[in-house]
Amino acid sequence: MTARRLEDLGKNAERESSDLLTADRVLNPSRVAKAAPEGAWPEFIYGLTGGKLNLGDSRSVRARKAIEARVAAPLSGETRFVPVLSRKGGVGKTTVTTLLGMALADGRDDRVIAIDANPDRGTLADRIAKRTDKTVRDLVHKATEIRGFNDISRFVARDETRLDVLASDPDPRIAEAFGEDDYARVADVAEHFYSLVLTDTGTGIIHSVMAATLAHADQLIIVTGLNLDEVRLASETITWLESNGYEDLARQAIVVLNQQSEGTPMVRLNELEVHFGSRVGSIVHLPYDRALATGAAIVYRDLQPTTRDAARDLAARVVDGLRRERQA
C-alpha cells in the first residue's frame, strides 16, 4: 500500500483515518532492518560483520525471486484455461502438465486444478502420490449436486503442492464416451472453484473433447520430444491451429522442448528455438531428470533444481501470457 495523505483523498476529506498510517509513510527507512541476504557470499559477509554489512541477495537469488514473483502475480477476472497439447504420444505431455500444475500451485495463493481429458486411458493421476477412486466421469454425473469446494474436493486427488487432479476413467471403453458436452460440464464446475484449469489432452486433435478444450483455452502449451518426427508434428500442430481459427492461440503458445534421455540431444536445440521462436510466443527447455523418466509419481521437492527451475520458468511464462491477454 503506497503512502497517502489527506490531500490525496480529495477536496471533501477533512480528517485522516488510521489506515493512512502505512509503513512506507511512517517508518524511518534508516532505522528499519533489512532482511538477511540470501546467497553464499552475501551471507558470509553478513555473518562476518555481525549483520552490519548487508550486500543484498546474490544475483541468482534475485533471479529466482523475480521468477517466483511472476508465478505469484494476481490474475483478475474469470477462471483461465490452459490446455497442454501434443499430437504424438510418449513425448511427456502428462509430465509437463503435472510439473506446470505443481509449479503454479506451489507458487500461488489461489487454486489450481489439472483435468485429465484424454479420451483414452489417461495417466495424469498416476503422476501424483495421492490417489482417489473418483474420476472425471463421476464429476459429470454429480455436477448438479456440487454446491461448494468441499463437494468438489471429494472428486480430486491433492498433491503436497496443493495441486488438485481430476483423473480420467481407467477403462478406455468408458473414457471414449467422454466428449464435448462432458468437458463443458466439467469446465463449468471447475470455473466456480479454481483460478487456473490445466487440461491434459489426448493426441487426437479432431476429437470432440479437443474442440471443447480449445473453445475454453486462454493459453496453449505444445509439448514435443527431441527427435525429428516429434518436432515436425509439433510444428504441424501449430499449422493446424493457424488453419482452423486458432491463430491467436498459436501465436501466443508456449512450446516445451522435453528432453527425455540423458546426454546431448540428437537435434540442435538452438535450431529448434529459432524455428519455434518464429511461430509461437516462447520456448522452454525441460532438461532430463531421472525422477521423471520412471513414469512414477512426481515428488516436486525431490526433483533436480534445474527441473524445478524449468517448471517455474514455464509457470511464469503462462502467468505472463494470461496477464497480457487480460490487459489487451
Which long-range contacts link 169-176 to residues 24+ away (Cβ below 8 Å)? 169/121, 169/135, 169/136, 169/137, 170/121, 170/135, 171/121, 172/120, 172/121, 174/137, 175/118, 175/119, 175/120, 175/121, 175/122, 175/137, 176/119, 176/120
End-to-end, the C-alpha distance of the chain in Å comes to: 26
Half-sphere exposure of 45 (CA within 13 A, CB side): 12
- Residue 178 contacts residue 136 (beta carbons within 8 Å): yes
At a CB cut-off of 8 Å and minimum separation 6, what does 312 contact? 67, 68, 71, 103, 107
- Residue 241 contacts residue 251 (beta carbons within 8 Å): no
pLDDT of the residue at 169: 78
pTM of the model: 0.85
The helix (run of H) or strand (run of E) holding residue 154 is: none
From first to last of its 328 residues, the chain has per-residue pLDDT tens of 444 554 554 555 567 777 778 877 787 776 666 788 888 887 888 788 888 888 777 888 888 889 999 999 999 889 999 999 988 888 999 999 999 999 999 999 999 999 998 766 678 888 888 878 888 888 988 998 999 999 999 999 999 999 999 988 776 565 556 778 889 999 999 999 999 999 998 776 767 788 899 999 999 999 999 999 999 999 999 999 999 999 999 999 999 999 998 888 889 999 999 999 999 999 999 999 999 988 889 999 999 999 999 999 999 999 999 998 766 5
- Please, where are the H alpha helices in 114-204? 136-142, 149-153, 172-175, 180-190
The dihedrals phi and psi of 107, each to the nearest 5 degrees, come to -105, -5
Give the residue among 227, 173, 218 at the shortest CA–CA distance from 197: 218
- Residue 71 contacts residue 86 (beta carbons within 8 Å): no
Pairing relation of β-strands 80-85 and 282-286?
unpaired
What are the residues facing 164 on neighbouring strands?
A: 113, 158
pLDDT of the residue at 13: 56
The beta strand positions in the chain, using DSSP E, are: 80-85, 112-116, 157-158, 164-166, 196-200, 221-224, 254-258, 282-286
Q: State the sign of the Cα–Cα–Cα–Cα dihedral 312, 315, 317, 319.
A: negative
User: Cell 508434428 belongs to which residue?
Assistant: 233
Residue 126 has what DSSP assignment?
G
- Residue 198 contacts residue 115 (beta carbons within 8 Å): yes
Whole-angstrom distance, CA of residue 226 vs CA of residue 266: 7
pLDDT of the residue at 18: 79
pLDDT of the residue at 37: 80
Per-residue CA distances from 17 to 23, 27, 172 (Å): 14, 17, 63
| Domains of the chain, each with CATH number or no CATH | 76-327 (3.40.50.300)
